[in-house]
Each structure stands twice: as structure tokens, then as C-alpha cells.
Amino acid sequence: MSELTSTPTTNEIHKGLHLLGLSLSELELNDLKIGQTISLETRSLGDIGSMFILAAALSAVNLGKTKKTVTFGDLPQVVNESANSPGIPIYCWISDTLNKKCLYLTLVDGKPALRITKHFQ
């Protein structure tokens, strides 16, 4: 598999971040592209609050379910349910003919974070 299809493009990641109203440093962006989880622990409460509001709105669309109210208490449950759903999906894209990738809002040690996960179609 080529490098282009095995790592998410910067453009795709920016689309997901834009939906959350969030920006990342180049180092954070590169870490996310290679599969690292990015902690949002140092973000302002205003950024985090807005991000949760937007994540709640996006989750029903990306989960493929009818509209459901998502609560902060749902995050640990969603993160722990399975490896296929490591959090709230924010933005998904087709990375190649066999794979779909999603940017997820998740929790790491109870703190908000972002992660990209690959799913086989």
C-alpha cells in the first residue's frame, strides 16, 4: 500500500478539525497522521465546550443512527464498547478501496483527545 493511502491526508484531517472549530500545531497534526492520539487536555474550556457541542451534533450523522442526545457520560461507554468505535466519530472518509478512516473524539485517562482509526469496508 502506498504512503498516500496508508496515512490520512492533511486535507482530510483539516476537514474534521474544521467541523470542531479546532486547529492543531504541525507537530500535533503529524502525530495524528501517524496514528498517535492527540490530547486536548491543555485546550481552553471554551474550546472544549464548543467542541463537545459540535461533536454531539455530528455524532448521530457519523454513527448512522437516528438523532440521539449524546452526554458526557456516553463518552467512556462508547470508548470502551469496542475497538471498532473508539469514541465519537467526527469526520470519516474513504482512504482507499478497502478502508475508511474516521477522526474520533475520545477519552484518554478521562481527558478529551483526538484519534484516527481505520475501518475495513
Q: What proportion of the chain, given as a percentage, has pLDDT over 70?
A: 66
pLDDT(110) > 70: yes
Q: 3-class DSSP state for residue 90?
A: strand
Tell me what pLDDT residue 41 has. Answer: 86
d(CA 95, CA 16): 14
pLDDT(27) > 90: yes
Domain chopping of the chain, boundaries: 3-120
Tell me what pLDDT residue 85 has. Answer: 58
Beta-ladder partners of 120: 99
Identity of the amino acid at 14: H
- Bigger pLDDT: 32 or 82? 32
The model's confidence at residue 7, banded by pLDDT at 50, 70 and 90, is: low
Q: What are phi and psi of 78, to 5 degrees?
A: -65, -45
As to burial, measured by CB atoms within 10 angstroms (0-12 exposed, 13-18 middle, 19+ buried), residue 34 is: exposed
> What pLDDT, in 10s, does the model give residues 56-100?
666 655 555 555 566 656 666 655 544 555 778 888 888 777 788
The model's confidence at residue 4, banded by pLDDT at 50, 70 and 90, is: very low
Picking from 47, 44, 17, the residue whose alpha carbon sits closest to that of residue 29 is: 17
- Bigger pLDDT: 75 or 53? 53
